[in-house]
Chains A and B, each alone.
Chain A
Amino acid sequence: KQEVTQIPAALSVPEGENLVLNCSFTDSAIYNLQWFRQDPGKGLTSLLLIQSSQREQTSGRLNASLDKSSGRSTLYIAASQPGDSATYLCAVRALGLTGGGNKLTFGTGTQLKVEL
């Protein structure tokens, strides 16, 4: 059974700092890995999606890397801003047939607070 863990569980940084969020997963047989942002009481916003054949993806100040063999992904946020404050979730998509292969297993999340 796939298990996804995120470290740290919570993080507070001053504005402008670069930071790294970590995600690890136990089963390397994944189709892709996705990073999401969740604001309090809201749904999920997809940030970056990395296919299993890729090593990294970038979008603006965000960069996500994937090391499938070691079961790890990192989300790098450059020059953090107060608006980046949210919970960040990683999720892995399983391989397999249509039904099971579309399932996402979510990590435990990192709650980020960027202070002025």
Chain B
Amino acid sequence: GAVVSQHPSRVICKSGTSVKIECRSLDFQATTMFWYRQFPKQSLMLMATSNEGSKATYEQGVEKDKFLINHASLTLSTLTVTSAHPEDSSFYICSALRGEQFFGPGTRLTVL
């Protein structure tokens, strides 16, 4: 149990476009999910905490208008990178809370 999926696994987009990444808890309900970003050779940095039915809580330095988070159901949270630029290229990982955090497989975003 406690499986978390992400879609897509990889996405390449042009600068200025928006990209949506989905995070799903497949076999449990999660009122809380987390979004992380990982740059090459670096560790995971928490971007925001996603709470079902309420606004996400963003970490300091993360632009909430650029990284839109929607946690509309107990099994789905989405991260939308708006007006993406090359510096947004990164590996985005989500996790869902069920006692402890269970992590998705990640999404590789490349912005050209």
Pick out which of these stretches binds chain A: B12-20, B63-71, B77-85, B102-110. B102-110
Number of interface residues of B (CB under 8 A): 22
Q: Contact at B42–A108, with CB atoms within 8 Å?
A: yes
Task: Tell me the bound Cα distance from A107 to B45 in angstroms.
Answer: 10
Contacts of B43 in A (CB 8 A): 89, 106-109
Contacts of A36 in B (CB 8 A): 103
> Does any Cβ of A come within 8 Å of B44's Cβ?
yes
Known contacts A89-B44, A104-B46, A108-B43: A43-B103 contact under CB 8 Å = yes
The count of A-to-B residue pairs whose CB atoms sit within 8 angstroms is 51
User: Which of A34, A42, A104, A109 contacts B106, CB < 8 Å?
Assistant: A42
Number of interface residues of A (CB under 8 A): 22
> Does any Cβ of A come within 8 Å of B93's Cβ?
yes
Is chain A's interface secondary structure helix, strand, loop, or mixed overall? Answer: strand
Contacts of A46 in B (CB 8 A): 100, 102-103
- Interface, chain B (partner A; CB < 8 A): 6, 32, 34, 42-46, 49, 51, 57, 91, 93, 97, 100-106, 108
- CB-defined A-B contacts under 8 Å, sample of 23: A32-B100, A34-B100, A41-B106, A43-B6, A43-B93, A43-B103, A44-B93, A46-B100, A46-B102, A46-B103, A49-B100, A89-B44, A91-B44, A93-B100, A98-B32, A99-B32, A102-B49, A102-B97, A103-B46, A103-B49, A104-B46, A104-B101, A108-B43
